[in-house]
């Protein structure tokens, strides 16, 4: 399966699961849960905690991120991650997609088992872009989410909450957009390393992200 096809499969699975009201009936096993309030960072490399609106979050990050090591998973066919992703300040999404500088996009990335030397098609790689930029009829700093890069959607599409910015836009009441992420990947190995990072181009005050309420579960094919 090509990388593109596997991404399509992942999107399809996410859509199916999101639309499945009986999800709790599947044999889903919780394997990790952290709201970062209790200072338990077992398995995490790259811990950086800050307070955002009276809440402890992982981050904020710019051009970096963290790993979560899960060393003993139950037997499973799929791994599911849910978390709150805070997109702070002036992310421009795909703003430069049609220009010369493709690297200028503001991406957020999740990789699973990067170091396991998997075949290219088996590497689990999720990349999307977010935008907090202007989006009016006729002009929009588009983003890829809720799809993966390089698809295009309006800025802030799918956001669950808009709140104050973090730094550059700290006085802007819509300067942060929060997304309730829910991602499912085919995965069988009994260990997993989850790598969360970004490919931002501005500095930390210009654009950054934080993450909270991270849960991981596994389930088997029925
Ligand atoms: Ca928290
Ligand atoms: Ca920016
Ligand atoms: Ca940017």
Q: Angle 148-154-159 (CA atoms, 0-180°, nearest 5)?
A: 75
pLDDT in tens, 115-131: 776 666 667 999 999 99
Rounded to the nearest angstrom, the distance between the alpha carbon of 171 and the centre of ligand 1 is: 22
| C-alpha span between 152 and 155 (Å, rounded) | 9
Q: Who's near 202: CB < 8 A, 6+ residues apart?
A: 62, 90, 106
| Residue at token pair 């999720």 | 126
- Over residues 82-102, the pLDDT tens digits come to 999 999 999 999 976 555 455
Span from the CA of 55 to the centroid of ligand 1 (angstroms):
5
Structural domains of the chain sorted by starting position, each given as residue range(s) with its CATH number in brackets = 3-219 (2.60.120.260)
What is the percent of the chain where pLDDT is above 70? 82
Give the distance (Å) from ligand 3 centre to CA of residue 98.
15
Q: Which ligand is nearest to the CA of 201?
A: 3
């Amino acid at each position: 399966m090509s990388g593109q096809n596997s991404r399509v499969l992942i999107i399809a699975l996410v859509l199916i699961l999101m639309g499945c009201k009986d999800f709790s009936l599947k044999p889903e096993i919780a394997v990790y849960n952290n709201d970062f309030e209790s200072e338990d960072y077992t398995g995490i490399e790259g811990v950086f905690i800050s307070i955002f609106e009276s809440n402890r979050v992982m981050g904020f990050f710019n051009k970096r991120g963290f790993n979560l090591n899960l060393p003993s998973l139950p037997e499973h066919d799929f791994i599911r991650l849910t978390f709150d992703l805070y997109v702070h300040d002036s992310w421009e999404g795909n703003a430069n997609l049609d220009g010369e500088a493709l690297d200028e996009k503001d991406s957020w990335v999740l990789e699973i088992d990067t170091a396991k030397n998997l075949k290219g098609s088996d590497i689990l790689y999720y990349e999307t872009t977010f935008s907090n930029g202007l989006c009016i009829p006729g002009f929009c700093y588009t983003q890829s989410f809720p799809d993966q890069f390089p698809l295009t959607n309006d800025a802030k599409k799918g956001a669950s909450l808009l709140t104050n910015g973090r730094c550059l836009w700290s006085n802007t009441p819509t300067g942060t957009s929060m997304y309730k992420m829910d991602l499912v990947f085919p995965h069988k190995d009994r260990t997993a390393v989850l790598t969360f990072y970004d490919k931002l181009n501005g500095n930390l005050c210009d654009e950054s992200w934080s993450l909270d309420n991270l849960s991981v579960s596994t389930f088997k094919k029925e």
